[in-house]
A and B are shown apart, each in its own frame.
Chain A
Amino acid sequence: MENLDWDDIQASLGGDEAAFERLVRRYQEQIAQLCWRFSRDSAVCERLVQDTFVEAYMSLRSYKAKAPFLHWLKKIATRAGYRFWKEQDKEKRFVPLEELDFAAPDNEQELEPGKAAEILHAMLERLDSSERLVLTLMYFEDCPIKEIAERMGWTGAGTKMRAMRARRKLKKIAEKEKILEKLEWMQ
């Protein structure tokens, strides 16, 4: 698969647009999955995916194949998503947690994944962009601290600090919004 990527990258650099289109088709699903963590609005998510691939095309020469192509794309997508959050920060509006459905599904011990993601997303958006990013990647993508630091160009220690601070704040938010009581049935 990686040789296939490398061949397509070289062909794209040589001006073969079909080769880059193949790369987009190969990875757009994974990138869309990541961008969905940055915005649950399908139009915004689609825009972020598009921006990621356009940016990747424009800086394709700087890809040195030290890591798989997908890692490189995820780095670009993460930064695009973070930029989007930073822009949104100015007009920050939260989804009120009361509007979300915390009720237990019938005969099930687990919340529906979409609902769980919605609740988590609504809680995380109350944090600062950098703290939100760390926890979003940790919780949704199972990303270790080291990888988050690498993606963002932050230090490992700084990222760890952000994660600790974010967890503390999130705990406070959960207590304030009485999440424990609302999700009592999950315990």
Chain B
Amino acid sequence: MDAIKIIEKLAKTAQKEKTLQIDVSKAVMLEIGLLRQENAGMIPFEWFAGISAVAASIITVFSLNAWRYIADPFIQLFMPLQGVLPW
């Protein structure tokens, strides 16, 4: 008989194995309770995203205003020489 055939026969027998009886319900609920307590102090993701978006818009408004006052330092270097330079 082929090795694979023997293995398949072994598998058919193995399928009948009675597996262990466990009750994890209490342990699962306890772990879920602990995780919920841990998460209770945290800001939900949607809130965090919202707050970040508001903060980003405020910064954008201020930076647009500031942009107008930014002058090119290179131009400022040649400003006093405007009358002297031939171009």
Interface of A with B (CB < 8 Å)?
17, 20-21, 24-25, 28-29, 32-33, 36, 42, 45-46, 49-50, 53-54, 57-58, 110-114, 116-117, 119-120, 123, 139-140, 142, 167, 170-171, 174-175, 179-180, 183, 186-187
Contacts and interface: CB of A to CB of B under 8 A. Distances in A.
13 contacts: A20-B32, A50-B24, A111-B13, A113-B13, A113-B16, A116-B10, A116-B11, A120-B11, A142-B15, A170-B3, A180-B3, A183-B6, A186-B6
B28 A111 contact: no
Contacts of B18: 113-114
B14 A32 contact: no
Contacts of A117: 13-14, 17
B28 A24 contact: yes
B68 interface: no
A116 B17 contact: yes
Interface of B: 1-4, 6-11, 13-25, 27-29, 31-33, 35
Looking at chain B's contact residues, the main secondary structure is helix
Nearest to A36: B19
A139 B8 CA distance: 7
A46 B19 CA distance: 12
Contacts of A21: 25, 28-29
Contacts of A171: 2-4, 7
Nearest to B26: A21
A42 B22 CA distance: 9
Given A54-B32, A58-B35, A114-B17, A28 B4 contact: no
A113 B4 CA distance: 18
Contacts of B3: 170-171, 174-175, 179-180
Contact of B19 (A33, A111, A174): A33
Contacts of B21: 29, 32
